[in-house]
């Protein structure tokens, strides 16, 4: 019993240490941050123009429960979350192609756990920075994000949202153990997140039949839930959405674990 809790403690310390190193690693690449920040500003500017045109510049108009201000801030949150995810698939693909995966596998830390530590550290840092950058453009155009307790909802659901994103990316990334080239699958996953995940368009604005399909998929738990909760806080819904996120995390984690177990037996490493 004591031995088991000791090994868990050691695993946690290793994960925290990897996270700390990943955090410091990011700070060394300020240009990278600046570039992403510029692109975020640019794309949000385009979205603000598009949605302002769609609403005819009317700040009072409410469409499917969203005012123009809420839509713009919703987009800031979905973009901040989307761009927070580091390129996990291409990293795994590169590790498999150049043989670095061999080094990762012999380390005394779970392969998936290692990637989760790096992902969590990078994604949380990026998310915070992107929120600041996004606010810098949304605030002057549509006013301050006075969402009160909605911010708490955003933060509560963002942790689960990023975990769901990690697991989805891991599922695609692990395909590299069989096929090496995963960029095509990643592209499709990314576009599914953009559309039926609610990144470009809140799911409430979609047709009824599509909303019903989206409800059965994990994508909305990764983007739509936290962003919608921020602009439309609903305490009753928060508990339900957290439960759905946990459900998806358990399901996807099982799938990742199964896939990893099978994939690692198929893996042939050359070089490294």
Partner 1 sequence: MSMGGKALANIRFVWTCWKLNLASAMEYRLSFLLLAGMMFVNNTIWLFFWGLFFNRFPIVQGWELHDVMMLWAVSTGGFGWAAMLFGNFSRIAGIVATGQLDVQLSQPRPVLLSVLVSRCSVTAAGDLLFGVAVYLMVGDTSLRGLLLFGLALLISGALFIAVMVLAGCSAFWIGHAEGMTQQLFQSFIALTTYPSDIFRGVVRLALFSLVPAGFISYMPIGLLRDFDPLFAAGAVGMACGLTVAAALLFRQGLRRYASGNAIAMRS
Footprint of partner 1 on this chain (CB under 8 A)? 31, 35, 38-39, 42-43, 46, 49-50, 52-54, 63-64, 181, 183-184, 187-188, 191-192, 194-195, 200-201, 205-207, 210
CB of 173 to partner 1, least distance (A): 16
| Closer of 19 and 202 to partner 1 (Cβ) | 202
If the CB atoms of residues 80 and 120 are measured against partner 1, the closer one turns out to be 80
Contact 132, 83 (CB under 8 A): no
d(CA 17, CA 48): 40
Helix, strand, coil percentages (3-state) for the chain, rounded to 5, are 80, 0, 20
Whole-number minimum distance, CB 200 to partner 1, in Å?
5
Q: How many CA atoms lie within 13 A of 139 on its CB side?
A: 9
The nearest distance, CB 42 to partner 1, in angstroms, is 5
| Residues in the chain, total | 272
Beta bridge mates, 66: 63
Smallest distance from the beta carbon of 39 to partner 1, in angstroms? Answer: 6
Is 149 or 210 the residue whose CB approaches partner 1 more closely? Answer: 210
Residue 176: C-alpha distances to residues 25, 91, 118, 198, 234 (Å): 25, 10, 19, 27, 40
CB closer to partner 1 out of 135 and 211: 211
Residue 81 has a CB neighbour count (10 Å cut-off) of 28
The nearer residue to partner 1, 13 or 191, going by C-beta atoms, is: 191
- Shortest distance, position 45 Cβ to partner 1, whole Å: 8
């Amino acid at each position: 019993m004591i031995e088991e809790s000791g090994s868990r403690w050691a695993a946690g310390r290793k994960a925290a240490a990897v996270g700390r190193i990943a955090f410091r690693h990011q700070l060394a690449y300020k240009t990278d941050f600046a570039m992403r920040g510029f692109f975020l500003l640019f794309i949000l500017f385009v979205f603000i123009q598009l949605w302002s045109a769609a609403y005819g510049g009317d700040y009072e108009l409410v469409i499917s429960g969203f005012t123009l201000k809420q839509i713009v801030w919703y987009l800031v949150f979905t973009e901040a979350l989307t761009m927070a995810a580091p390129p996990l698939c291409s990293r795994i693909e590169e590790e498999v192609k150049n043989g670095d995966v061999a080094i990762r596998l012999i380390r005394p830390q779970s392969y998936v756990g290692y990637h989760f530590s790096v992902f969590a550290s990078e994604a949380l840092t990026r998310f915070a920075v992107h929120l600041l950058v996004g606010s810098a453009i949304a605030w002057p155009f549509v006013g301050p994000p006075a969402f009160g307790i909605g911010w708490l909802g955003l933060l509560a659901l963002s942790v689960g949202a990023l975990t769901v994103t990690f697991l989805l990316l891991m599922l695609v990334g692990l395909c590299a153990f069989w096929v090496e080239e995963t960029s095509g699958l990643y592209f499709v996953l990314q576009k599914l997140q953009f559309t039926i995940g609610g990144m470009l368009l809140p799911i409430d604005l979609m047709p009824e039949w599509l909303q019903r399909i989206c409800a059965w998929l994990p994508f909305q738990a990764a983007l739509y839930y936290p962003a919608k909760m921020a602009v439309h806080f609903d305490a009753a819904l928060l508990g339900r959405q957290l439960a759905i996120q946990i459900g998806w995390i358990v399901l996807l984690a099982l799938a990742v674990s199964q896939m990893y177990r099978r994939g690692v037996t198929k893996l042939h490493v050359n070089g490294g």
